[in-house]
Structure formats: structure tokens, C-alpha cells
Amino acid sequence: MGPDDPGVQREDRGDGDVVSTLLSTVVCAGCGTAASADDPFPFRCPNARAGDDIDHVLTVVLDPSRVRFPVGVESNPFIRYRPLLHSHHFATARGMSDAAYVGAVAELNSAIARVDGREFVPTPFAPSAPLSDHFRFETGHVWVKDEAVP
């Protein structure tokens, strides 16, 4: 970096790629390839090839300088934690209002409840004394996220 370079990545990196303005990026954990910022359903790494012995698992990478952990008591986790969700970043970057996003999630939640009888709810996350004792924790605890709780 030269004396005149502020150290900020420019939108035009010179190779034709444009830096995403989204608050998150979907990236392959196996090869590092970023999914297209225009892809509304990034389910598969664009570089995945049969037999290449790489686990092409897509993961969301948040921009920590622009995303804050939400505070609140909303019971629906997809509404409460929407500031951390790539789907929210994608939708609002393309003009959907936050209220419309919340409405769409609430509508989907109601539709699932009509079929399954349950809505989206946070799952318990708590310390487990039996596991902590078993593993002989002298300080702290083993924490368990119980996804099986209906």
C-alpha cells in the first residue's frame, strides 16, 4: 500500500468484478469461491465438481463492520435475527422494505404452522450440568443447543 492509498477496497478492482454492497456474502468454505451476489438461491458452489475431494459447503460471511447483533424479544428467530440473515440483506438490497420482509416471514410462519402445527421458535440453549460433570469442567459449563425440542 502506497502513501496515497487509503487502504479501502474500491468497487472496481480492475478485473471486472464488483465488490458486493450486501452486508453478507455466500462463500464456499472448501474453495473460497463467492456465490454471485445476484443469485437469490445460492445452494451450490459454482466450482463444485464430482470427485474433486473438496467439501464445497456454502457459508454466510457477515461484514462485522456493518452488522450488529440484534437485541430484542421477538419470539420468531427469523424475524428477531434478520439483521444477520443473508436473505434479509439480499431482499432489502433489492428494494424490499424491512416491514415487507417481516410480513413475508410471518406469512410463511403461519403457513408452516397450518401444516405442521408449530411455528418458528427459538430452541433452548443452556448449560448442561451432567455433561459438565462428565467432562470434569472445573470452571464454566458445556452448553447444549437442543434442536429436538418441539
Domain count, the chain: 3
Residues 72 and 115 in one domain: yes
- Tell me the per-residue pLDDT of 35-86, one tens digit each, with 9 for 90 and over: 998 888 899 998 998 888 999 999 999 999 999 999 888 989 999 999 999 9
List C-alpha distances in Å: 18 to 55, 95, 124. Answer: 26, 19, 40
Residues 45 and 27 in one domain: yes
User: Using an 8 Å Cβ cutoff, are 67 and 33 in contact?
Assistant: no
Question: Is 123's pLDDT higher than 50?
Answer: yes
Q: What is the pTM of this model?
A: 0.71
Residues 84 and 109 in one domain: yes
Residue 5 included in any domain: no
Residues 87 and 58 in one domain: no
Nearest one of 78, 85, 105 to 22, comparing CA atoms: 85
Domain that holds residue 98: 68-119
Residues 51 and 87 in one domain: no
DSSP per residue, 49-93: -TTS-----EEEEE-TTT-----S--S-HHHHTGGG-HHHHHHHH
Predicted confidence band at 20 (pLDDT cuts at 50, 70, 90)? low
Residues 55 and 72 in one domain: no
Residue 92 included in any domain: yes
Residue 108 included in any domain: yes
Residue 2 included in any domain: no
For 30, other C-beta atoms within 10 Å of its C-beta total 17
Question: Is 101's pLDDT higher than 90?
Answer: yes
Mean pLDDT value across residues 138-145: 92
CA-CA distance, 101 to 80, in Å (whole number)?
12
For 75, other C-beta atoms within 10 Å of its C-beta total 11
